[in-house]
A and B are shown apart, each in its own frame.
Chain A
Amino acid sequence: EDQVTQSPEALRLQEGESSSLNCSYTVSGLRGLFWYRQDPGKGPEFLFTLYSAGEEKEKERLKATLTKKESFLHITAPKPEDSATYLCAVLFPSGGSYIPTFGRGTSLIVHP
């Protein structure tokens, strides 16, 4: 059973067409939720950390928001260079530590 679920699996947008990606999770007492961007053949690149419901972070055309059970990555007026896979990860307790667990990602393609 997935603890971190991302939707949709794939998303195709026209340049300038705003949309949102979803990350839902099943953990009580969130210690941190992360968004990453991954380009083909590269490792994930960190975008945002969110800690508590109501929190928002922005970077260029991206805005990440957080509720008690899910996070959204809003993409405003996307450009072709925003095409990538977007990954969400949540810290889950493991023994005496907290380990990031990843969703399967959303593959975004922005057409010019």
Chain B
Amino acid sequence: DVKVTQSSRYLVKRTGEKVFLECVQDMDHENMFWYRQDPGLGLRLIYFSYDVKMKEKGDIPEGYSVSREKKERFSLILESASTNQTSMYLCASRPTGGGQPQHFGDGTRLSIL
């Protein structure tokens, strides 16, 4: 079974801090994604990566950056955390080709105080 592991289940940070969310997948998938999930808004794509060192903006990239130095690891960075970035963050991976589904981690619930 594919395993996508997010480093923290819960995280509390203060406004202005630089925050790192880590995600690791064990199935050699080319594509990795970061979403945030808010009540009533569903999953919104922040960034995705289709290869090492490659990244593409999603629908809501403002205030975020990403890093993919190794194929299995995709990091989401909040450069200067703000209260409106309090949310559930979900990482996913999927292989390239065909209609392959995504596999998700269990999420990081991030609170910015």
Contacts and interface: CB of A to CB of B under 8 A. Distances in A.
Nearest to A45: B104
A94 B56 contact: yes
Contacts, number: 58
Interface residues of B, number: 28
Given A97-B50, A99-B45, A32 B102 contact: no
B99 A43 contact: no
A49 B104 CA distance: 15
Interface residues of A, number: 25
A9 to B, nearest CB: 8
A43 B41 contact: no
B50 A44 contact: no
Interface string B19-58: 0000000000001010100001111010010100000101
B81 interface: no
Interface of B: 4, 31, 33, 35, 40-43, 45, 48, 50, 56, 58, 90, 92, 94, 96, 98-107, 109
